[in-house]
Amino acid sequence: MDHALHFLSPSNPRTVADGRAHARFLTPRDLPALIDLEHEKWNDVQAASPDALRTRIDAYPDLAVGAFCARSDRLLASLFMRPVADDFHRRVQTWQDCASVPAPRMSSTLFGVSLTSRDSAGVTALLRFFWPYALKHGYRHIYLGSPIPGLRDWLAAHPGACAEDYVGARRMGLPLDPQLRYYSSRGFSKIVAVKPNYFPHERSLDYGVLLRGTVPLSSLAPLWASLPLTSVRRATLPLARFL
Protein backbone atom coordinates (compact mmCIF):
# COMPACT_ATOMS: atom_id res chain seq x y z
CA MET A 1 0.00 0.00 0.00
CA ASP A 2 1.25 3.45 -0.89
CA HIS A 3 0.84 5.94 1.97
CA ALA A 4 2.94 8.79 0.49
CA LEU A 5 0.64 11.73 1.24
CA HIS A 6 1.24 14.96 3.11
CA PHE A 7 -0.46 18.21 4.12
CA LEU A 8 -0.60 21.19 1.84
CA SER A 9 0.62 24.54 3.04
CA PRO A 10 -1.37 25.80 6.07
CA SER A 11 -2.42 28.76 3.91
CA ASN A 12 -5.10 26.45 2.47
CA PRO A 13 -6.53 24.88 5.64
CA ARG A 14 -9.56 23.14 4.10
CA THR A 15 -7.71 20.75 1.81
CA VAL A 16 -4.76 18.35 1.91
CA ALA A 17 -3.11 16.88 -1.15
CA ASP A 18 -0.14 15.50 -3.04
CA GLY A 19 0.30 14.14 -6.56
CA ARG A 20 -2.24 11.36 -5.94
CA ALA A 21 -5.07 12.69 -3.77
CA HIS A 22 -6.59 15.65 -2.00
CA ALA A 23 -9.01 15.63 0.94
CA ARG A 24 -11.66 18.13 2.02
CA PHE A 25 -14.99 18.37 3.80
CA LEU A 26 -17.93 16.98 1.85
CA THR A 27 -20.95 18.98 0.68
CA PRO A 28 -24.31 17.98 -0.84
CA ARG A 29 -22.73 18.58 -4.27
CA ASP A 30 -20.70 15.41 -3.68
CA LEU A 31 -23.78 13.19 -3.42
CA PRO A 32 -23.49 11.64 -6.92
CA ALA A 33 -19.87 10.63 -6.25
CA LEU A 34 -20.78 9.31 -2.81
CA ILE A 35 -23.66 7.24 -4.17
CA ASP A 36 -21.36 5.76 -6.83
CA LEU A 37 -18.77 4.80 -4.18
CA GLU A 38 -21.42 3.31 -1.87
CA HIS A 39 -22.80 1.05 -4.58
CA GLU A 40 -19.34 -0.03 -5.69
CA LYS A 41 -18.22 -1.07 -2.21
CA TRP A 42 -21.48 -2.17 -0.50
CA ASN A 43 -24.44 -4.28 -1.55
CA ASP A 44 -28.01 -2.97 -1.73
CA VAL A 45 -28.71 -3.78 1.92
CA GLN A 46 -25.47 -2.24 3.23
CA ALA A 47 -25.22 0.89 1.07
CA ALA A 48 -26.42 4.19 2.47
CA SER A 49 -29.30 5.85 0.64
CA PRO A 50 -28.96 9.33 -0.90
CA ASP A 51 -31.15 10.71 1.89
CA ALA A 52 -28.97 9.09 4.56
CA LEU A 53 -25.82 10.51 2.98
CA ARG A 54 -27.30 13.99 2.80
CA THR A 55 -28.45 13.75 6.41
CA ARG A 56 -24.93 12.81 7.55
CA ILE A 57 -23.46 15.85 5.79
CA ASP A 58 -26.15 18.23 7.03
CA ALA A 59 -25.93 16.98 10.63
CA TYR A 60 -22.15 17.23 11.01
CA PRO A 61 -20.59 19.07 8.05
CA ASP A 62 -17.20 19.29 9.79
CA LEU A 63 -17.20 15.53 10.42
CA ALA A 64 -17.84 14.46 6.81
CA VAL A 65 -14.63 14.14 4.81
CA GLY A 66 -13.81 12.95 1.30
CA ALA A 67 -10.57 12.17 -0.50
CA PHE A 68 -10.37 12.72 -4.25
CA CYS A 69 -7.95 11.71 -7.00
CA ALA A 70 -5.71 14.68 -7.77
CA ARG A 71 -5.84 14.03 -11.53
CA SER A 72 -9.40 12.88 -12.18
CA ASP A 73 -11.13 14.27 -9.05
CA ARG A 74 -12.78 10.86 -8.62
CA LEU A 75 -13.86 10.14 -5.06
CA LEU A 76 -11.40 7.69 -3.49
CA ALA A 77 -12.69 7.48 0.08
CA SER A 78 -15.30 8.93 2.41
CA LEU A 79 -15.47 9.18 6.18
CA PHE A 80 -18.54 10.21 8.19
CA MET A 81 -18.31 10.73 11.96
CA ARG A 82 -20.51 11.87 14.82
CA PRO A 83 -19.91 12.73 18.49
CA VAL A 84 -20.75 10.04 21.03
CA ALA A 85 -20.42 9.64 24.79
CA ASP A 86 -17.13 8.19 25.98
CA ASP A 87 -18.87 5.01 27.20
CA PHE A 88 -21.35 4.68 24.32
CA HIS A 89 -20.02 1.22 23.36
CA ARG A 90 -21.50 -0.25 26.56
CA ARG A 91 -25.04 0.69 25.52
CA VAL A 92 -25.11 -0.33 21.86
CA GLN A 93 -25.43 -3.59 19.98
CA THR A 94 -25.87 -2.85 16.29
CA TRP A 95 -24.38 -0.40 13.82
CA GLN A 96 -27.72 1.41 13.75
CA ASP A 97 -27.48 1.84 17.52
CA CYS A 98 -24.04 3.42 17.15
CA ALA A 99 -25.18 5.67 14.32
CA SER A 100 -28.28 6.94 16.13
CA VAL A 101 -27.30 7.06 19.83
CA PRO A 102 -28.03 10.58 21.16
CA ALA A 103 -25.06 12.91 20.83
CA PRO A 104 -23.81 14.45 24.09
CA ARG A 105 -23.54 18.22 24.50
CA MET A 106 -19.77 17.91 24.80
CA SER A 107 -17.59 14.96 23.88
CA SER A 108 -13.99 14.04 23.18
CA THR A 109 -15.09 10.86 21.39
CA LEU A 110 -16.24 10.26 17.81
CA PHE A 111 -17.86 7.27 16.14
CA GLY A 112 -17.03 6.60 12.51
CA VAL A 113 -20.46 6.00 11.00
CA SER A 114 -18.90 4.93 7.72
CA LEU A 115 -15.42 4.62 6.25
CA THR A 116 -15.64 3.60 2.59
CA SER A 117 -12.64 3.41 0.28
CA ARG A 118 -11.63 2.28 -3.19
CA ASP A 119 -7.97 3.33 -2.68
CA SER A 120 -5.82 3.11 0.47
CA ALA A 121 -4.18 6.43 -0.40
CA GLY A 122 -7.58 8.03 0.04
CA VAL A 123 -7.82 6.72 3.61
CA THR A 124 -4.38 8.15 4.36
CA ALA A 125 -5.45 11.51 2.99
CA LEU A 126 -8.63 11.48 5.09
CA LEU A 127 -6.78 10.77 8.33
CA ARG A 128 -4.05 13.31 7.72
CA PHE A 129 -6.50 16.00 6.71
CA PHE A 130 -8.70 15.49 9.74
CA TRP A 131 -5.90 15.15 12.32
CA PRO A 132 -5.38 18.90 13.00
CA TYR A 133 -9.16 19.44 13.19
CA ALA A 134 -9.45 16.63 15.73
CA LEU A 135 -6.68 18.16 17.86
CA LYS A 136 -8.10 21.67 17.63
CA HIS A 137 -11.57 20.51 18.71
CA GLY A 138 -10.36 18.33 21.57
CA TYR A 139 -11.24 14.92 20.13
CA ARG A 140 -9.24 12.14 21.78
CA HIS A 141 -10.72 8.85 20.58
CA ILE A 142 -12.33 7.68 17.33
CA TYR A 143 -14.29 4.43 17.23
CA LEU A 144 -14.95 2.38 14.10
CA GLY A 145 -17.10 -0.68 13.56
CA SER A 146 -15.44 -3.30 11.39
CA PRO A 147 -16.67 -6.49 9.72
CA ILE A 148 -14.52 -9.59 10.24
CA PRO A 149 -14.70 -11.17 6.78
CA GLY A 150 -12.53 -14.18 7.63
CA LEU A 151 -14.85 -15.35 10.42
CA ARG A 152 -17.15 -17.66 8.45
CA ASP A 153 -14.35 -19.71 6.89
CA TRP A 154 -12.31 -19.79 10.12
CA LEU A 155 -15.22 -21.11 12.16
CA ALA A 156 -15.87 -23.79 9.53
CA ALA A 157 -12.25 -24.93 9.99
CA HIS A 158 -12.37 -24.69 13.80
CA PRO A 159 -15.47 -26.53 15.13
CA GLY A 160 -16.39 -25.48 18.65
CA ALA A 161 -14.64 -22.10 18.41
CA CYS A 162 -16.46 -18.77 18.65
CA ALA A 163 -16.19 -15.29 17.13
CA GLU A 164 -14.28 -13.99 20.15
CA ASP A 165 -11.63 -16.68 19.61
CA TYR A 166 -11.14 -15.57 16.03
CA VAL A 167 -11.00 -11.88 16.89
CA GLY A 168 -8.37 -12.60 19.53
CA ALA A 169 -6.26 -14.79 17.24
CA ARG A 170 -2.90 -13.33 16.21
CA ARG A 171 -0.29 -13.94 13.52
CA MET A 172 3.10 -12.33 14.13
CA GLY A 173 1.47 -10.12 16.76
CA LEU A 174 -1.26 -8.83 14.43
CA PRO A 175 -4.94 -9.82 14.16
CA LEU A 176 -5.58 -12.88 12.05
CA ASP A 177 -8.50 -11.24 10.26
CA PRO A 178 -7.31 -9.18 7.26
CA GLN A 179 -9.75 -6.33 7.90
CA LEU A 180 -8.68 -6.04 11.52
CA ARG A 181 -5.01 -6.13 10.44
CA TYR A 182 -5.66 -3.26 8.05
CA TYR A 183 -7.37 -1.13 10.69
CA SER A 184 -4.61 -1.96 13.18
CA SER A 185 -2.07 -0.59 10.70
CA ARG A 186 -4.08 2.66 10.60
CA GLY A 187 -4.03 3.12 14.37
CA PHE A 188 -7.29 1.35 15.26
CA SER A 189 -5.63 -1.40 17.28
CA LYS A 190 -7.76 -1.43 20.43
CA ILE A 191 -10.52 -4.05 20.20
CA VAL A 192 -13.28 -2.82 22.50
CA ALA A 193 -16.15 -5.22 21.82
CA VAL A 194 -17.34 -8.04 19.58
CA LYS A 195 -21.00 -7.54 18.61
CA PRO A 196 -23.26 -10.26 17.13
CA ASN A 197 -25.91 -9.07 14.67
CA TYR A 198 -24.00 -5.82 14.31
CA PHE A 199 -24.35 -5.30 10.54
CA PRO A 200 -25.49 -7.50 7.63
CA HIS A 201 -22.27 -9.03 6.28
CA GLU A 202 -22.34 -12.62 5.08
CA ARG A 203 -18.65 -13.55 5.49
CA SER A 204 -18.67 -12.02 8.98
CA LEU A 205 -21.85 -13.91 9.89
CA ASP A 206 -23.23 -10.43 10.72
CA TYR A 207 -20.68 -9.97 13.51
CA GLY A 208 -18.88 -6.67 13.95
CA VAL A 209 -15.99 -5.45 16.07
CA LEU A 210 -15.80 -2.03 17.68
CA LEU A 211 -12.27 -0.64 17.38
CA ARG A 212 -10.79 2.42 19.05
CA GLY A 213 -8.04 4.67 17.83
CA THR A 214 -6.42 7.43 19.87
CA VAL A 215 -5.80 10.74 18.10
CA PRO A 216 -2.01 11.25 18.16
CA LEU A 217 -0.90 14.11 20.47
CA SER A 218 -4.44 14.56 21.81
CA SER A 219 -3.13 14.46 25.38
CA LEU A 220 -1.95 18.05 24.73
CA ALA A 221 -5.56 19.21 24.27
CA PRO A 222 -5.20 22.54 26.17
CA LEU A 223 -2.31 23.53 23.91
CA TRP A 224 -4.16 22.76 20.66
CA ALA A 225 -7.30 24.54 21.86
CA SER A 226 -5.30 27.71 22.48
CA LEU A 227 -3.80 27.81 18.98
CA PRO A 228 -5.40 28.81 15.65
CA LEU A 229 -5.96 25.92 13.27
CA THR A 230 -3.21 27.10 10.93
CA SER A 231 -0.72 26.85 13.79
CA VAL A 232 -1.92 23.35 14.68
CA ARG A 233 -1.35 22.36 11.05
CA ARG A 234 2.15 23.80 11.07
CA ALA A 235 2.98 22.00 14.30
CA THR A 236 1.74 18.62 13.05
CA LEU A 237 3.05 18.89 9.48
CA PRO A 238 6.45 17.27 10.16
CA LEU A 239 4.72 14.28 11.79
CA ALA A 240 1.90 13.80 9.29
CA ARG A 241 3.80 11.24 7.25
CA PHE A 242 3.75 8.86 10.23
CA LEU A 243 -0.05 8.60 10.24
Nearest to 4 by CA among 70, 94, 102, 84: 70
Give the pTM. Answer: 0.85
- Per-residue confidence (pLDDT) for residue 209, from 0 to 100: 97
Residue 104 located in a structural domain:
yes
| SS3 category, 135 | helix
- Per-residue confidence (pLDDT) for residue 243, from 0 to 100: 65
| SS3 category, 142 | strand
Measure Cα distances from 137 to 13, 83, 241 in Å. 15, 11, 21
Measure Cα distances from 170 to 52, 124, 175 in Å. 36, 25, 5
Q: How far apart are the first and last CA of the chain?
A: 13
Residues 6+ apart with CB under 8 A from 8: 15, 16, 17, 22
Residue 49 located in a structural domain:
no
Residue 37 located in a structural domain:
no
Residue 188 located in a structural domain:
yes
Determine how many CB atoms are found less than 10 A away from the CB of residue 238: 10
Residues of the chain scoring pLDDT < 50: 1-18
In total, how many domains does the chain have? 1
- Per-residue confidence (pLDDT) for residue 11, from 0 to 100: 27
CATH code: domain of residue 168:
3.40.630.30
Residue 70 located in a structural domain:
no
Residue 161 located in a structural domain:
yes
Measure Cα distances from 36 to 21, 27, 67, 111, 116 in Å. 18, 15, 14, 23, 11
Per-residue pLDDT tens over the stretch 103-145 = 998 899 999 999 999 998 898 899 899 999 999 999 999 999 9
Give the range of the structural domain holding residue 179, as residue numbers without chain letter.
Answer: 80-242
Q: In angstroms, rounded to a whole number, what is the distance separating the alpha carbons of residues 14 and 18?
A: 14
Q: What are phi and psi of 2, to 5 degrees?
A: -95, 120
* Eight-class DSSP state of 10: T
Q: In angstroms, rounded to a whole number, what is the distance separating the alpha carbons of residues 209 and 102?
A: 21
Q: In angstroms, rounded to a whole number, what is the distance separating the alpha carbons of residues 41 and 103?
A: 28
Determine how many CB atoms are found less than 10 A away from the CB of residue 124: 29
Residue 186 located in a structural domain:
yes
- Per-residue confidence (pLDDT) for residue 239, from 0 to 100: 80
Nearest to 58 by CA among 39, 30, 85: 30
- Per-residue confidence (pLDDT) for residue 242, from 0 to 100: 67
Residue 2 located in a structural domain:
no
